[in-house]
Chain A
Amino acid sequence: MDYALDIFMIAVSGMLINNFVFYYFVGICPFIGVSRRVDMALGMGGAVTFVMSIAAFMAWAITTFLLVPGAPITRWVGSLFMPAAAAARIDLTILTYIVYIFVIAGSVQFVEMYVRKFNPRLYRSFGVFLPLITTNCAILFACLTIMSHIVGVENPSEIWGLGKSLTLAVFGGGGFTIAIVIMAGIREELDLCDIPVPFRGAPITLIVAGILALAFMGFAGVDAGLRQAISGG
């Protein structure tokens, strides 16, 4: 029951309260670039969610089994060359950034090949923004958040397992999708408006994004209230 509550809190927090786009301001590039039409925005949101989930899964697996001190594979290989106690202390977390970029780039390439074969129209609409997911800080941000929950805690029971990591990734991607679809809906309406010449294009988009971020601030404190409502009352 506690575990389910934790999953629920991570999901709500990742999707609405600490929305990746409006709270942490990561993933702005595809957010501004592909939010011209709702159907394309939905496609991009789906692609980012999918890549985030795959990347989070691989990041979690590699971090837990290879990189953290006490990881099984590292400990086993290390015990061949040094006493077991020392092997359990080998810390490879310096590799996290490089490994995460490997994994993210690989999964984005995979998704790009898949989309190009099975949905050419979506592929052409993405244009350069699909490979830009590789350098998109939203994916790397999700992976690093997961890593910090695996590494940076003293209490072993607080270490995030696969369930919590995937929940953050999927619902974080869902939050990104919500953000980009809202933006696309607004921008479709903006196309019909009379905007002063200095504001046309990127400036009005950024202003609208700022107003949306202000609106999403309304969710702050909802997690504490929800936790109290579900477990206390």
Chain B
Amino acid sequence: MTWVTIGLSAASLLSIAIVLTTVLNWANRKFHVDVDPRVLKVIDALPGANCGGCGYVGCGEYAEAVVLEHEAVDRCTVGGQSCAQNIAAIMGIEIGEVLPYRPVVHCGAHYPDRLGRSEYRGEKRCAAANMVADVQACTYGCLGFGDCVRECRFDALHIVDGLATVDYEKCVGCGACAKVCPRNLITMTPFKAERMLAVTCSNKDKGREVMAVCRVGCIGCGACTRASELFHLENNLSTIDYDAYPEDCTAEMLRACEKCKRHRLVFVGKPSPEDLEKAEPLEAPEVIKPDFHTTVDDTEWRG
């Protein structure tokens, strides 16, 4: 390895580097693409869950829509108020208050409460069972086959004793469950507080018919409407006007809850301090068992 060889190696590497640098420099200037820096800043401000709750395919697409097409800045349901404020600051505009939307299941009947249940041998899907008569007597209520559970990508819905139940600590508010329920039981409700009052029934029939199909359905007696102005009866069903929902729970609302003979006025939301205290002595399971099954297992073709 003579000095000439070493010198030649160094010189050739250096000259190749210089040639490449020159060519790439020229190419960089010739092929320059202007990217609005605000797009990158908005992408940073977004949570990055790529859930599609805003209506766009991913956070990148929404960021470009906000910056280039003047899309509304409060479409991100996961980011909520703080994210909308950040994006508004980047875009240089002002926005009002943004409320988080969370799903409310308007049915409160578990398996024992439902009357007239018969054996269903079809595909274990709510969409399929909804088309067949007499799976259960109540044609408005939750079927419990779990279409919403399968749709949720954040493990926020579970079937508890036949009724779809929301875990509000995991829910991000993307709205997929509300879109997929074939009986339209789930509505996306603006949550002005951590726990909101909801009417957990969707049965629009008169009192006697309701009692024939369900042990806990709303009979449309109107006791809640007399206790508080928040409720009104629509189609024999008590309804809450969420636009007029107060920030703090009033005494009239609590009295309405007591007056309801069917106990359909329920507070839903993140666990309250009392619930957490009650759950403390309970033990959580240590072992998570894997659940190997495919969509084929849900179909029970009997030939």
Contact = CB atoms under 8 A, between A and B. Distances in A.
B23 A110 contact: yes
Interface in A107-129: 109-110, 113-114, 116-117, 120
B16 A99 contact: yes
A42 B135 CA distance: 50
Contacts of A95: 9, 12-13
A194 interface: yes
Nearest to A74: B8
A152 interface: no
B33 A66 contact: no
A204 to B, nearest CB: 13
Interface string A197-233: 1100000000000000000000000000000000000
Contacts of A90: 4-5, 8
A98 B292 CA distance: 49
A95 B9 CA distance: 7
A96 B268 CA distance: 68
B298 to A, nearest CB: 11
Contact of A113 (B11, B31, B293): B31
Nearest to B28: A113
Interface residues of B, number: 23
B20 A196 contact: no
B250 interface: no
Interface string A79-112: 0011000010011101100110011001001100
Interface string A180-199: 00000000000000111110
Contacts of B28: 113
Contacts of B13: 95, 98-99, 102
A135 B80 CA distance: 41
B24 A106 contact: yes
Nearest to A116: B33
B99 to A, nearest CB: 33
Given A99-B13, A102-B20, A116-B31, A197 B294 contact: yes
Nearest to A79: B4
Interface in B6-52: 8-9, 11-13, 16-17, 20, 23-24, 27-28, 31-33
Tell me the dominant secondary structure on chain A's binding face. helix
B284 interface: no
Contact of A92 (B5, B17, B27): B5
A110 B8 contact: no
Contact of A106 (B4, B20, B31): B20
B2 interface: yes
Given A113-B31, A196-B292, A78 B8 contact: yes
A117 B2 contact: no
A114 B9 contact: no
B147 to A, nearest CB: 18
Given A62-B16, A114-B27, A198-B292, 19 more contacts: A67-B12, A78-B4, A90-B4, A90-B5, A90-B8, A94-B9, A95-B12, A98-B13, A99-B16, A103-B20, A106-B23, A109-B24, A110-B24, A110-B27, A113-B27, A114-B31, A195-B294, A196-B292, A197-B294
20 contacts: A74-B8, A78-B4, A78-B8, A81-B4, A82-B2, A82-B4, A87-B4, A91-B5, A92-B5, A92-B8, A98-B13, A99-B16, A102-B17, A109-B24, A110-B23, A114-B27, A117-B33, A194-B294, A195-B294, A197-B294
